Amino acid sequence: MNTPGTGDSDAERTSTARGALIEELMPGLVRAAGWDTLSNLRERSCTDSPDPERAAASTRWFASSGRGDVRRAEAESVTEAVREHAESTGWTPHESTGGPRLLYAASRDDLTLVVRYATTADEGPLSVEISTPCLDMPSGHTMTRSELDPRYGSSDPMYPNDDRSEFTNEQVKQLPEPEPLPE
């Protein structure tokens, strides 16, 4: 994973650990959904500032994967598969209070997992998302993206430490193969 900032503060170490954990957990959830790519896996600003330095003052991690035009029955089936995988790997379910768009919610440590279905009509976009709480970062912190993020390596000034030679012009990257289960 691309390491943010200098890692000299507790907040930066916590952020780096959160990013690594999401990078480890998200592929299994995506595969449980029957998909094989991510839409996002990055540190995001908790501010509305377009200035990279100000934006990096408070950040959280966010990962997502999804599909558009999913029928309601498929959305429910995918949600059940994600729920089973999540709960078998240590996620604790929460009562869904997000209305008809939030099909599932769970937590693991300070990570939040949700499955969203953006419509109550016959079909619409379905997403699996993991996020973390915001952290106040020290001066000089820079946001980072996982190398699994399709925009990793782009010239976005919010992510100055991306390896520009790795930019794939937003082509989705295949998830790493899952680790074999211990016997």
What is the rounded average pLDDT of the residues 142-148? 92
Q: Which of 103, 98, 96 lies closest to 72, judged by CA?
A: 103
- pLDDT tops 50 at residue 148: yes
d(CA 5, CA 8) in angstroms, rounded, equals: 8
Classify 95 as helix, strand or coil.
coil
Structural domain total, the chain = 1
pLDDT tens by residue, 10-34: 999 999 999 999 999 999 999 999 9
Question: Percent of the chain scored above 70 by pLDDT?
Answer: 87
> What is the extent of the structural domain holding 74?
10-149
pTM value?
0.88
Q: Is residue 109 part of a domain?
A: yes
Q: Which CATH number goes with the domain that contains 91?
A: 3.30.2030
Q: Is residue 67 part of a domain?
A: yes
